[in-house]
Amino acid sequence: METVHYISSDVFTLELLHEIISQNFTLELSEEARINIEKCRHYLDKKMETHSEPIYGINTGFGSLCNVKISNENLSQLQENLMKSHACGTGDEVPHEIVKIMLLLKIKSLSYGNSGVQLATVERLIDFYNNDILPVVYTQGSLGASGDLAPLAHLCLPLIGEGEVYADGFRQPAMKVLEKNGWKPITLQSKEGLALLNGTQFMSSYGCYILLKACKYSYLADVIGAISLEGFDGRIDPFHELIHIVRPHKGQINTARRFNELLEGSEIIARPKVHVQDPYSFRCIPQVHGASKDTIDYVKKVFKTEINSVTDNPNIFVGEDLIVSGGNFHGQPLALALDFLGIALAELGNISERRTYQLISGLRELPAFLVSNPGLNSGFMIPQYTAASIVSQNKQLATPASIDSIVSSNGQEDHVSMGANAATKCLKIMENLERILAIELMNASQAIEFRRPLKSSEFLETFLKSYREEVPLVEEDRILHYDIEKSIAFLNSLQLDSEVLE
């Protein structure tokens, strides 16, 4: 049975986005959205018949050319020229999963009826989405201010039969795909090119994609951290509820509660401890992991607002008979949030690597480098090097992009957000975190074997059993690259309940 999501003015959430993407919903416009789009387009057409004064982006040039008046007979050509001239992205291709989110969020933004696009334009974007026709979009080219101009130009070029797409499993000219489906290129009307190119859908799609992974890996950081705590023979005391009630940050409280749940029934955590205190990378897990959770919650709020917004320019208000040029395309809210998110994810990796380091240090009756017969075997000596290298790269990537700006468009666009750069490097930080946590899991699962015959909790033992089916215990030196890759694949394959993502 086909599952359809109807685009409407109903509030769109990250959880709904995840459901639509993961369950392969198709899209359709609600009747409300159709009416809003057509009403706005009709209003704009009537306005252009009677209005001779310049209206930015509708009958003028763009950027610093805003004072150049364009005659009515050239308005369609103006929009097509805009699309072509702005398609100057370069660098790596945007991942297909993110391109699909870009299509969805662009459709959503245009559906409110404040952008002046034709109904046919939005319906063609829906055709692309539903048929997995994914435009080739590049990661470099957006300043994150006048909208994500270059990436969105590449996203929307196929509407006019230009550019390239992935369809039927390979990359091909967009025009060829249009012809195969019996579709004619869209003839852009006044304002449409600008409506398509202005907007924050590159930044916001990256942010949504990263947030979904961040929620998952925030949870897995707790699970893997709990296994490390068991392997290190750590204490449960720092997770006592009363400690966190007197410093009641939400993330801190939730992290401590989760650790108590994860470790419930563990023989290892319950046994008497010789040591009085653990290092900060264990003792301060609630405070550090919790702060990252609170950051993720904040960023989710920012992106929830954004994906329910109109972000092109100018905005059309039919009821008020107004066309107003403003700056809703400016990505500053997203740039700051993405930088904050990148820092929070980098810190999850930072403390993870420190736990890995403690586990290989020959402390607490663990053998040096977590292997029998150390010396002949180097064991887990070098995976920590790898984790340390990745953690340091994340520190470098976590330098905020949003504190930067550069003048463009002949001085007209004199402050930009750099949100697109914040987005692409935040994704790199997220991918690095996956690798760092995979290396910690390798070490933690090895360490816990030296606590046998004592058992951990039922949940953690089940988790470790599943992991061991993919990555066997290291008894003597072998090529650990393959273990790292298998560990990453194991974590990526895990499907979590939706409440974990909330």
Residues marked active site are found at 56
Q: Is 53 in a helix, a strand, or coil?
A: coil
The two three-digit tokens of residue 81, written as one number: 């020229």
- Find the Cα–Cα–Cα–Cα dihedral 288, 293, 296, 302, rounded to 10°: -110
CA gap 398, 391 in Å, rounded: 10
Q: CB-based contacts of 459: which residues, under 8 Å, 6+ apart?
A: 262, 264
CA gap 367, 349 in Å, rounded: 24
Burial class, 458, CB count within 10 angstroms (exposed 0-12 / middle 13-18 / buried 19+): exposed
How far CA 106 is from CA of 36, 153, 251, in Å, comes to: 15, 12, 32
Q: CB-based contacts of 391: which residues, under 8 Å, 6+ apart?
A: 346, 349, 350, 353, 432, 436
**How large is the C-alpha radius of gyration of the chain?**
26
* Torsions phi, psi for 477 (to 5 deg): -55, 135
How far CA 268 is from CA of 51, 236, 257, 351, 461, in Å, comes to: 78, 10, 18, 22, 12
How far CA 303 is from CA of 150, 315, 410, 431, 481, in Å, comes to: 21, 20, 31, 20, 36
Q: Decide if 356 contacts 155 (C-beta within 8 A).
A: no
Q: Decide if 369 contacts 379 (C-beta within 8 A).
A: yes
Q: CB-based contacts of 458: which residues, under 8 Å, 6+ apart?
A: 265
Q: CB-based contacts of 375: which residues, under 8 Å, 6+ apart?
A: none
